[in-house]
Amino acid sequence: MNSPVGTTSSPVTNAPWLLARFAQAAIAAAAVADVFRALALRAHDLHPTNASLNKSGFRSMVFVYLMTAAAVLFLVWFSRCRRNARVLSPGAASEPGVWAVVAWLIPVVNLWVPRGLVLDVLRASSLGTTDKGRDEVLVNVWWVAWAGHTVIAMASQLGDGTSMPLLLVTEALNLAAAVLAMFVIQRITGLQSTALRAASPTPFAAP
């Protein structure tokens, strides 16, 4: 039987602030790199030269490295938050740990299922707060921006890739999703920090 958080049998854990900061920085860097990558690819499509090919190739490589780092750091942060959520609310975030990672990587599935996983962690971390509705709106708006960017970016690959209006919409959603993701990370980590601190046993004062 699970023990309530804060009892002597509960595992001692902390909010993953360091992972949160690394994930936020990597997400911001990857989002900016994506803008420069998209501009370089469009320039190459319009005026293909060896120089433009090298430039777009280099920027694409940098983006792939940064995006990979951002994805790994985010998933590690999210895994820590899921573990904390189970401590704060036994029975919450009950999906297998592998599924909580794999769901982000499967095409089509990753456009919907991970949103529910994030909401589960958010709800388990916000017990006793009065801002649950606002926090869920934050997650939903982030998810719309991220899914919209993903779908439009995939659709743009079917065309010639030179439409400036389409590029502007795609990259605006990209930047919006990155900023909102950073807010989501900040909010969940902050909620867990407050909840875990409040649930920690208070040592008796020395006589």
Residue 191 has what pLDDT? 94
Instruction: Count helices and strands (H / E) in the chain.
Output: 6, 0
Lowest mean pLDDT of 23-32, 93-102, 110-119, name the range: 93-102
Q: What is the mean pLDDT of the chain?
A: 86
Q: Please name the helix (run of DSSP H) or strand (run of DSSP E) that holds residue 105, with its range, or none.
A: none
Predicted confidence band at 165 (pLDDT cuts at 50, 70, 90)? confident
Predicted confidence band at 206 (pLDDT cuts at 50, 70, 90)? very low
Residue 143 has what pLDDT? 96
Whole-number percent of the chain with pLDDT over 70: 86
pTM of the model: 0.86
Residues 136 and 188: their CA atoms lie apart, in Å, by: 11
Q: Is the pLDDT of residue 204 over 50?
A: no
Q: Report the first-to-last Cα separation within the chain, whole angstroms.
A: 35
Q: Is the pLDDT of residue 96 over 90?
A: no
Residues 134 and 139: their CA atoms lie apart, in Å, by: 9
Q: Is the pLDDT of residue 173 over 90?
A: yes
Q: Is the pLDDT of residue 98 over 80?
A: yes
Q: Is the pLDDT of residue 20 over 90?
A: yes
Question: Where are the alpha helices (H) located in 89-131, listed in sequence order?
Answer: 97-102, 113-125
Residue 92 has what pLDDT? 72
Q: In degrees, to the nearest 5, what angle opens at C-alpha 111 toward C-alphas 162 and 94?
A: 155
The mean per-residue pLDDT over the stretch 77-105 comes to 85
The amino acid at 129: T
* Structure confidence by residue, pLDDT tens digits, 67-85: 999 999 999 999 999 999 9
CB 146 within 8 A of CB 137: no
| Residue that has been written with the tokens 């065309």 in this structure | 159
Lowest mean pLDDT of 118-127, 156-165, 182-191, name the range: 156-165
User: Among candidates 112, 131, 113, which has minimal Cα distance to 122?
Assistant: 131
Contacts for 111-116: CB closer than 8 Å, 24+ residues apart:
111/147, 111/150, 111/151, 112/147, 115/139, 115/140, 115/143
Q: Is the pLDDT of residue 8 over 50?
A: no
